[in-house]
Chains A and B, each alone.
Chain A
Amino acid sequence: MTEARYTAAEILTVLAARHLSDGQVVFAGIGIPLLAATLAQRLGASGLTILFEGGVVGAFVEPGKLPPSTNDQRCTKRANMVLGSADVLLLLQRGYVDIGFMGGAQIDQYGNLNSSFIGDPGDPRTRLPGTGGGNDISSLTNMIVAMKHEKRRFVEQVDFITSPGFIRGGRTRAESGLPMGGMFRVVTELAVFGFDEASRRMKVLALNPGVTREQVQDNTGFTLVFDEKTAITKPPTEQELSMLRMLDPERLFIG
């Protein structure tokens, strides 16, 4: 195989970009999501509208000028419009956003994300930065999460639900007052995941090239559901990789 051809962050970004299509409105977080959404625009989805929580509507981030946060002036280059931060988040609540797209620190089998506390919130081992717009995005639209695949990050139950997925599975999300949206895809350097329609548990949709079922399971802290015949994702193409490296020449986000 050709694992050495790309880093974990690179395949993550490329696969995430493939899930976005022309005509969609995507609300993207900083880092890999911003980069993957920009990559999708450059690879043909030029009609992909990117929103940033800083208040940007219709961003086209410039190659080599990746912003250090989604609140920096670089995010507004060639945008259609700038709004206040609360107003751009309210677009999610009204329903104008097709896809929310974020990174994740810790995820569980129901797609709940934790970016607030490791350990007991009353006496935490680690206080993490917090939700930012993550809670709003995951509460109000369909989510794609792009994150590193490690056992300590893929846990049975998160220590703290910062950004809700399907809560405790089944209908618990809707019953909690979140009738819309939910986890749609999780993309890692090992596989692409979806969620079972009834149980809402995470399941493997496709393995990344050169990755085995055992490898995915060994790096996951709960028992994964596999379809009988698991698909294999097509490896990143030269075109995808070269465009990605052109966007992030300093390798700020692609490692």
Chain B
Amino acid sequence: MLEGQLEPYGRLRDNLANRDRSLREKVMSLEEAASLVQDGMKVGIGGSTMSRTPMAMIWELIRQRKQRLSCSRCIVSTDGDLLIGSGVSDHIVTSWFAQGILWGLSKVMRHHIEKGGKRYDEWSHMAIGMRFRAGAMGLPFLPIRSMLGSDVLRLRPEAKAIDCPFTGEKLLLVPALNPDVALIHVQRCDAYGNAQIDGLQFMDIDLAMAANSVILTTERIVSNDQIRRAPDQTKIPFFCVDAVVEVPYGSAPHECYGLYEPMMKHMNAYVAQVNGDPVEGMQAYLEKYVYEPKSWNDYLALIGLEEVLEAARSGRSIYND
């Protein structure tokens, strides 16, 4: 199904009715979880920019050489580079796409979008949020008051401007976005998928509710009793979730709130390499850091103990006075 084209409500409800939503253990390996993602799927990605990126899951999708994924996220950083640079994704739906403001433009994005035949559909940040929210609400659209008058809207005929039936004002209707699968990284969850998120939640709650399936990666798996002691901390309920994978440092080299900050030496070296040569530089990076490591822990070892520990020290310092 094309992006922006709506899934009929009946099919959305059927998808949900046919999922096994019972209180069951869903713990599996990264490899097993990645096999739930099929070529051509619409994939919603949790977190934002360099924060709580489901990097281990993206890393595994690249290792399994998935194809033609259409990936949506509120703001895309090096995750987007890797997805289109590896050939896993040919379509990115977001509001902003570069590695980070510290590094200017992404040469990887530029190469593949300007002349590589891949697509970057741009929406405003709030529009992406309202599209996930409409999807989460079981509605075909939501009205917003931004994007009007801009060329961002001119390039997005999927959105429809209307005169409000109550007031006559001009409003923009943005279509629901219901990904086939959402990839979300959290600080902790139980084996059923009750997930607790510390700090910034970005669009992850709407994304989880909107998606037709959800793969959680988590820094640690805790008991259901522990979840029940602080139900106010639970942001995603188990019945949204289809797979749980425990992956410590699963957002590296990006950050995970309260646990580690971005691994900036690795980020700087990565950007220098891929912006130096968006094809060969990316290929060399993928070989060394994605295809060759035997495991995620092997990949972390390549980033290096010193850098991982430094990121953890500064990450935990958010709780210092």
Contact = CB atoms under 8 A, between A and B. Distances in A.
A82 B201 contact: yes
Secondary structure call for the A interface: loop
A205 B158 CA distance: 41
Given A84-B202, A160-B151, A162-B151, A132 B161 contact: no
B129 A177 contact: no
A249 interface: no
B221 to A, nearest CB: 22
Contacts of B145: 93, 139-140, 177-178
A54 interface: yes
Interface in B60-83: 74-75, 77
Say which size band chain B's interface belongs to.
35 or more
Given A84-B129, A130-B95, A130-B96, A72 B51 contact: yes
Interface stretch (B37-45, B107-115, B176-184): B107-115
Given A73-B258, A131-B96, A54 B48 contact: yes
B76 to A, nearest CB: 9
A127 interface: yes
A176 interface: yes
Nearest to B161: A177
Interface string B40-56: 00000000111100000
Contacts, number: 181
Say which size band chain A's interface belongs to.
35 or more
A25 to B, nearest CB: 17
A90 B109 contact: no
Contacts of B30: none
Interface in A58-83: 68-69, 71-77, 82
Contact of A139 (B77, B148, B315): B148
A202 interface: no
B263 to A, nearest CB: 12
Contacts of B148: 139, 164, 176-178
In the complex, the 9 A-B pairs of residues with the closest C-beta atoms, listed nearest first? A86-B129, A176-B149, A177-B170, A177-B148, A132-B96, A139-B146, A129-B98, A89-B126, A135-B124
